[in-house]
Amino acid sequence: MRNRTGHTENFGSPSGIDIRTLLPTLRRGRRQVSYVTFRVREHHSEDGGLRSILNIAAKNPSTRNSVTETNAFEGDRLRHARIALFLFLPFLILAGLTRAQDQPAVDSSVPPPPHAKQIHLKHILVIGQTKGWEHESVSDGMAAIYNMGRDSGLWDATLRTDVGPITKKKLDKNAKNLDYFDALVFVSTTGELDLDDGQKKDMMSFIKDDGKGFVGVHAALDTNYKWPEYGEMIGGWFDQHPWSTFNAPIINEDPSFPAVRHFPRAFVKYDEIYQPKEWSRDKVNVLLSLDPAKLNYANNPRIHRTDHDFAVAWDKMYGKGRVFYSTLGHTEEAWNDPDIRKMYFEAIKWVLGMTDGSTASHPRPQASGDEH
């Protein structure tokens, strides 16, 4: 090795070796050297001098072979500090050789792997304003949607119980308006929301003209009765819940759609199912519906649909924008149900344009499935 003066130095007597003589040993036909052992022992020679023996063993586990180089360093009482320094340097060299050997060879004939598609974070506005009945599950729903975006890394959610951001006008300070967002979610909003005519126009333009998404959760159907365009956009309005909260027998009418793909053909959920009015199957793609053969119609004055067609979830287009609605999510417990959470997670992804699914209407199924 070289000392600080730049000269090559051997430790001990002329039988000592230069550090560079170790390299052929460590390189000798070995594709991988997993570890090296060093051992120093001392004994007195016949002439009374103190001899230090350095043994270096490099092990290759793939061939179960080892390369061993033993060298003796002689000197009168060789100092341990110099031996320790000598042991440390081969270890550094070995580490460098191992890293170099571990680097895979680059084949210029093989094209490099394609770059992964970069996902740009989306922004959604979640509104939970209630001007009528206030559901206790509003906070649960808003928090669940926020966490879905955070945990997946697909979107960030702005949660509001007012409707201030629903405008395209420039807002004060750093407040965001609709231009910032990619989708709008109404979580069990009720009554006539605090929207002026300008805000209503901007919201419809956001969906219809800009092609942004809208998701309605449960009581979003119980909102804005005096705003005809809202009913047209979402697909109808609330008209009672004939069975209140019950074990609802549900049919999956479109298992290929992302938001309901995880549901079986027929299943039961404990929830409150709305009966829609001014709603037509011809104008939406029904995803989930109640099984009419398993409902009790006796002595129930709240049943207004004579066709007994009770949709539970649907999707549609409103101009360029995607719209999804489901009546599921009435209870606080519903937002702990992995099926419900996944449905809304996939619904938001769909309205954001991350997945594809049909919006074409289809006839009502002729027969119900089996209950699970």
- pLDDT digits 0-9 by tens, 9-26: 333 333 343 434 444 444
Query: Whats the size of the chain, residue-wise?
Result: 372
CATH architecture of the domain covering 122-351: 3-Layer(aba) Sandwich (3.40)
Q: What's the pLDDT tens digit per position in 112-171?
A: 555 555 557 999 999 999 998 888 899 999 999 999 999 999 999 999 999 999 999 999
Mean pLDDT of 175-184: 97
- At 325 the three-state DSSP class reads strand
Return the pLDDT at 302. Answer: 79
Q: Which distant-in-sequence residues (6+ apart) come within 8 Å of 26 by Cβ?
A: 33, 36, 58, 67, 90, 93, 94, 97
**Tokens of residue 73, six digits:** 């360093």
Q: What's the pLDDT tens digit per position in 272-321?
A: 998 888 889 999 999 999 999 998 888 888 777 788 889 999 999 999 99
Q: Which distant-in-sequence residues (6+ apart) come within 8 Å of 149 by Cβ?
A: 122, 124, 155, 156, 157, 348
Mean pLDDT of 345-371: 86
Q: Which of 84-93, 192-201, 271-280 has the lowest mean pLDDT?
A: 84-93
Cα 289 to Cα 281: distance, rounded to the nearest angstrom: 11
Which helix (H) or strand (E) element contains residue 40?
Answer: strand 35-44
Q: What is the pTM of this model?
A: 0.68
Domain ranges of the chain: 19-102, 122-351
Whether domain 19-102 has CATH 2.40.50: the reply is no
